Amino acid sequence: MSSEQFSEYTVVHGRAKSFYERYDRKPELQHQTHFCPGCGHGIVHKLLARAIDELGIQDRTILVGPVGCSVFTYYYFDVGNVQAAHGRCPAVATAMKRSRPAGIVIGYQGDGDLSAIGSAEILHAANRGENITIIFVNNAIYSMTGGQAAPTTLLGQTSTTTPEGRSATTEGYPLHVSELLATLQGPVYIERVGLGDNKQIAQANRAIHRAVENQVKGLGFSLIEVLSPCPTIWKMSAVDSQHWVRDVMEKTYPLGVFCDRTKEAQPRRLPPEPPSLEAIPAILDIVNDDSAEASSAANKATKPIDLHVRVAGFGGQGVLLLGEVLAEAGLEAGLEVSWLPSYGPEMRSGTSNCHVRLSDETIDSPLVTAPNILVAMNEPSLRKFDKSVRPGGWIIYNGETFPTDCVRNDVHVLALPFTQIAHELGSARAGNMVMLGALLEVANGLPQSSIDAALRRLVRNTKWFELDELALSRGRELFRESFQEV
Amino acid sequence: MTDAVKRDRGLLKIDDQECKGCGLCVEACPPRVIALGEHLNHYGYRTAVYAGTGCTGCGICFMACPEPGAITVMRAVANRAAAAAIMSTGQEGSPSCASN
């Protein structure tokens, strides 16, 4: 056809601007969707993209994709995209709408996602009347996973999990989500539409447009349920499955508007402005100590810190407190820290241990499976963890003699009767702090001021605070004495 | 083009690489001017084919088609001047009305 002839025609229906020109998926197939031939999702995608175009909101639309066949909304829609955990779309959409009130947040969910695993989320989002739009695509079955029965499966409909057909006695009745939600006071607009024939598709187009428009006007919660064909799982041709929507599915799920409060609804008030990031420490009553930040910057310049510490002992020895003081001191010095306690259900007298990480870098995991410092407060704890210490690491052991069968020549060992030493200082209970003092000498990177501040925060009693300070400096001394001799 | 031939109101373009041959447009088309072709495309689908004449530009096939850009529907512009104006302002791509 010549270009002259084309110049006499103008495009009235073509690819929506809200779709990408090419989809960032498998190289061979970037010009077509992943949907099966005749899939209803393709049509719903198209109607939604059209509504976004018509309302001129492409630049501020955020689409929340579901788990299911339509998980890949981000391949196709040239808008903001987030993919939520199974069924949690309304919760994610709520958070985004509240934090970005100018954004148009559209949730796209299937019937497995919305009416089964996510039934609680949708119920409460609707009840709160969140100013979001939900497109609920109902094909009465779990398609992506191969055709198991969903809450929306029709009575008598066969599926892989209802081979004899769904029975009300064993599987209950089809869940009418739109009717259910329409009984609530929160929603503004709920309509069920179908893709069963041309007329139904035209109505679906209008309904989806309206549901998005309600949000643009700030009116509140809108949900459009779309009865959608699934030719593959229903084992029908595309055309037959379209007819099945109209002739069979619609009998169980009548089309229509179930709730329409758009006329009387007032634009919802915006949520209160969240506090600024700077104001949060004051609200949480946290002292903002810039000097700590500064000193941490200085630390970073001098020596990288990456501690993997495991502290183990029996309950009551102060295992967890030792770790906590270390972690707090790291926090005080502006490091990244984690402290993960681990103890048995017996609480007292059982064994307990904790994982402590201190690092200049972001901490990937709070678990310490291969410590570079092990603090073992008794023999069973030593035997439990000694093999896990990294070569070149340290074992600080509470005992005069280190068990000969635990000796490794690739780790450093400091074995002293710490409990006894603490007893001489004033109380055996300060043994953990003597060990911490030794540990701090090994780590040798935390400023004393950070440790003092951490200790003051965790040990409120003055008497114990003073004893612990004494114990810490004794620990440091013992370490220096032990390793100067060598 | 000569005045002797009456122009169709609409014109249809089908992308045979995007079409998956589901046949929904064939079913949807009111003047029945779309059919599934005899040949298989690169992916093994018998894709939709426009009969060449008879399109009214209603856009119903576009709405029924699950692929975003497999079908493009065009409508005749009243005169050449108007067509030229639309082409030059680049508005031809914007869907301007509902399906019917």
Total domains, chain A = 2
Domain match, A77 and A200 both: yes
| 3-class secondary structure, A447 | coil
Mean pLDDT within A142-148: 92
Report the percent of chain B where pLDDT is more than 90. Answer: 58
- A271 lies in a domain? no
Question: What pLDDT shows up at residue A271?
Answer: 72
Identify whether residues A288 and A328 lie together within a single domain: yes
pLDDT digits 0-9 by tens, A14-52: 999 999 999 998 887 888 899 999 999 999 999 999 999
Residues A349 and A386 grouped into a single domain: yes
The answer as to whether A423 is a domain residue is yes
Chain A residues with CB-CB distance to B66 below 8 A: 33, 35, 37-43, 45-46
CB contact under 8 Å between A37 and B65, yes or no, is: no
Q: Which CATH architecture has domain B10-89?
A: 2-Layer Sandwich (3.30)
Whether the ipTM is more than 0.85: the answer is: no
Mean pLDDT of A5-9: 64
Distance from CA of A196 to the nearest CA of B (A): 10
Does A401 map to a domain?
yes
Q: Residue A362: which CATH number?
A: 3.40.920.10
Chain A residues in contact with B91 by the CB 8 A cut-off are 10
Same domain flag for A329 and A441: yes
Per-residue pLDDT at B91: 47
First-to-last alpha carbon distance for chain A, in angstroms, is: 94
Question: By CA distance, what is A203's nearest residue in B?
Answer: B99
A269 half-sphere exposure, CB direction, 13 A CA radius:
3
Examine the domain organization and report whether A75 and A175 are in the same domain: yes
pLDDT reading at A110 higher than 90: yes
Sign of CA dihedral A427, A433, A434, A435: positive
pLDDT digits (tens, 9 = 90+) for B21-70: 999 999 999 999 999 999 888 888 999 999 989 999 999 999 999 999 99
Whether residue A62 is found in the same domain as residue A173: yes
Q: Which two tokens stand for residue B68?
A: 């975003």
**Residue A286, pLDDT score:** 80
Lowest mean pLDDT among A68-72, A141-145, A308-312, A404-408: A404-408
- Could you tell me if residue A480 is inside a domain? yes
In this prediction, residue A3 carries a pLDDT of 43
Q: What angle do CA A229, A74, A86 make, to 5 degrees?
A: 65
Q: Do A8 and B66 touch (CB under 8 A)?
A: no
**One domain, residues A251 and A342:** no
Cβ contact (<8 Å) for A42 and B71? no
Q: Are residues A47 and A176 in the same domain?
A: yes
Measured between beta carbons, which residues in chain A are less than 8 angstroms from residue B26?
239
Predicted local confidence at residue A152, as pLDDT: 97
Beta-bridge partners for A341: A354
The reply to whether A100 and A236 lie within a common domain is yes
Cα distance between residue A428 and residue A443, in whole Å: 24
Block residue for tokens 């069920």: A192
Q: Per the CB < 8 Å rule, is A7 touching B22?
A: no
Determine, yes or no, domain membership for A425.
yes
pLDDT at residue A290 is higher than 90: no
Asked if A225 and A343 sit in the same domain, the reply is: no
CA distance A330 to chain B (A): 55
Residue range of the domain that includes A389: 280-485
Interface contact flag, A49 B18, Cβ < 8 Å: no
Q: Are residues A294 and A209 in the same domain?
A: no
pLDDT at residue A484 tops 70: no
Give percent of chain A with pLDDT exceeding 70. Answer: 93
Which residues in A lie closer than 8 A to residue B28 (C-beta atoms)?
198
Cβ within 8 Å, pair B68-A238: no
C-alpha distance from B33 to closest chain A C-alpha (Å): 16
- Please tell me whether residues A226 and A321 are part of one structural domain: no
Q: What residues of B are in contact with residue A76 (Cβ under 8 Å)?
A: 68
pLDDT for position A317: 83
Q: What is the DSSP letter of A26?
A: -
DSSP 8-state symbol, A363: P
Q: Residue A226 maps to which CATH number?
A: 3.40.50.970
- Specify if A266 maps to a domain: no
Query: Does position B81 have pLDDT exceeding 80, yes or no?
Result: no
A455 pLDDT higher than 80? yes
